[in-house]
Amino acid sequence: MSKLIIANWKMNPSSESEAIRLAKASDAKGVVICPPSIFLNQIHSILKIADLGAQDVFWENPIPGGAFTGEVSISMLKKSGASHVILGHSERRRYLNETDEIINKKLLSALAFELKVILCIGEPISIKKEGILAAKNFVKKQLLKSLAGIENLKTQAKNLILTYEPVWAISAGLGTGHADTPENAAAMINYIKELLVTRYSLSVNKVIYGGSVTSANVARILEYKEIEGALVGSASLKAEEFKKIIKISSQIQ
């Protein structure tokens, strides 16, 4: 099965022209580009191959709209060309106080309205220091809370992509800049897949890894068949570097 590469641009770049330049360079098969929502329309109009994703969405989806200041609805995102949305990123959990309960509402709503969800889960450094069992328990709790009620949306599970992204492995901000070892990431991904099956008999679209993925480590990470793709932050903002990542990924089955 081919691997999936998701570009999480976060709050970058600073101008529309730069966003367009970057999107053109990243426009390839098996890629989802997630720019700030202000650039979605424009990027959609130039993309030929890659899919487009947003970095967040609100859980209420009244049509044509509603009294929710500052929020963007699922229908609005779909109209601007987005097929995917990232939910539960650790930066939103930390800076916007997003809880598992909030993420769960967004996830159920997005899936119900047929937006593909890229759900991020992963432990912070304090839990990592307690050892592998503590990390597994933390990830299990996040997963089960975020997926509460998914039993009723089983057919939409094909639209769910899970990302194991340990917070400490992120390259900037909350992270240390050191990627997880591919062995650990693969073990945690296997654990997540097991949980999905034993708890919900759920077969999701993909389970991928995120955190300091670069052209230098992506081959070793994706060589593990259980790691079905990568969520790339900083390295997706450097056109040449991201192109290398896409190329390496396309050569691994």
Q: What is the dihedral of CA 242, 247, 252, 253, to 10 degrees?
A: 100
Instruction: Name the active-site residue from 89, 91, 123, 228.
Output: 89
44 classed as catalytic? no
Among 88, 182, 211, 229, binds ligand PGA (CB under 6 A): 211
Give the whole-angstrom CA distance, residue 96 versus residue 92.
5
Alpha-helix residue ranges (DSSP H) falling in the chain:
16-26, 40-46, 74-79, 90-95, 100-112, 125-128, 132-146, 182-200, 218-222, 239-250
Give the whole-angstrom CA distance, residue 155 versus residue 216.
37
Nearest approach, Cβ of 173 to ligand PGA (angstroms)?
A: 8
- Could you tell me the two tokens for 104? 């769960």
The position carrying tokens 């769910």 is 160
220 to 239: interface string for ligand PGA, x by CB under 6 A = -----------xxxxx----
> Does 109 sit near ligand PGA (CB under 6 A)?
no
- Find the binding residues for ligand PGA in span 191-210 (CB under 6 A): 210
165 classed as catalytic? yes
Among 170, 185, 186, 196, binds ligand PGA (CB under 6 A): 170
> Does 212 sit near ligand PGA (CB under 6 A)?
yes
Nearer to ligand PGA by Cβ, of 19 and 202: the residue is: 19
Give the whole-angstrom CA distance, residue 99 versus residue 92.
9
Catalytic residue numbers read: 89, 165
Residues making contact with ligand PGA (CB under 6 A): 8, 165, 170-172, 175, 210-213, 231-235
